[in-house]
Amino acid sequence: MAWSTRRAGTAVLLALGVEGCFTGHLLDAARRCEQPIAFQDAFVDDDRLVLRYTALVADDLGEPLGHEDRAASIALADLRRSDVPPVESFPVERLPGDTPRRGERVTLHEAGSGASVAPPYLDIDGAAGRLVLHDAHDGALAPFYAAALARTRTALWAYPLVPFALVIDAATNPVLLFFAPAVIVLGD
């Protein structure tokens, strides 16, 4: 009896200490979010627009962790479509950050700056997070939202810890779930 009381007490204390689903919080802590903050280079390689940019890496709560040089390409055909794919499913091919320049160089142009440049050029509207490619043949293509380049990933160090986190959850979550109905019944 004393032994089971001690075990129940330990489980309650653990449940309070791990602040909920430990596995979930572990994966949250390991989540990394990358967002483009500056474009360095752009070129048209065959039928794709290649972008090299600097990404800000932040944790799940937005705390900056550093910068990375990234590159990605998008199909020009996607920018010529009348129904441009939504930003969350816009097809982006990730490339190595040190992808060498090849093909036709595209001038980076700050939208609204008034400077005149010859096509092809990429109009970058930083405030709206929008890029518009102007080429010599088709003029302005459909806007491309820089948010499509953002990505989230989970830091590799989290995965070896997941089995331990699952064990902790197996011990503590029943305690939390046991008290949840009481919160619901007593709560407003």
The minimum distance between CB 30 and other proteins, in angstroms, equals 12
Output phi, psi for 138, to 5 deg: -100, -5
Instruction: Pick between residue 36 and residue 120 the one whose CB is nearest to other proteins.
Output: 36
Instruction: Pick between residue 19 and residue 138 the one whose CB is nearest to other proteins.
Output: 19
Residues that bind other proteins (CB under 8 A): 19-21, 24-25, 27-28, 33, 35, 60-62, 84, 86-88, 129-130, 143, 145-148, 150-152, 176, 180, 183-184, 186-188
The minimum distance between CB 27 and other proteins, in angstroms, equals 7
Output phi, psi for 148, to 5 deg: -65, -20
Instruction: Pick between residue 118 and residue 183 the one whose CB is nearest to other proteins.
Output: 183
Both structure tokens of 107: 């001038």
From the number of C-beta atoms within 10 Å of its C-beta (0-12, 13-18, 19+), residue 80 rates as middle
The minimum distance between CB 153 and other proteins, in angstroms, equals 11
Q: Cα–Cα distances in Å, from 141 out to 69, 85, 109, 119, 156?
A: 26, 14, 15, 12, 38
Instruction: Pick between residue 50 and residue 146 the one whose CB is nearest to other proteins.
Output: 146
Instruction: Pick between residue 43 and residue 79 the one whose CB is nearest to other proteins.
Output: 79
The residue assigned the tokens 């929008």 is 130
80/78 Cα distance (integer angstroms): 5
The minimum distance between CB 136 and other proteins, in angstroms, equals 26
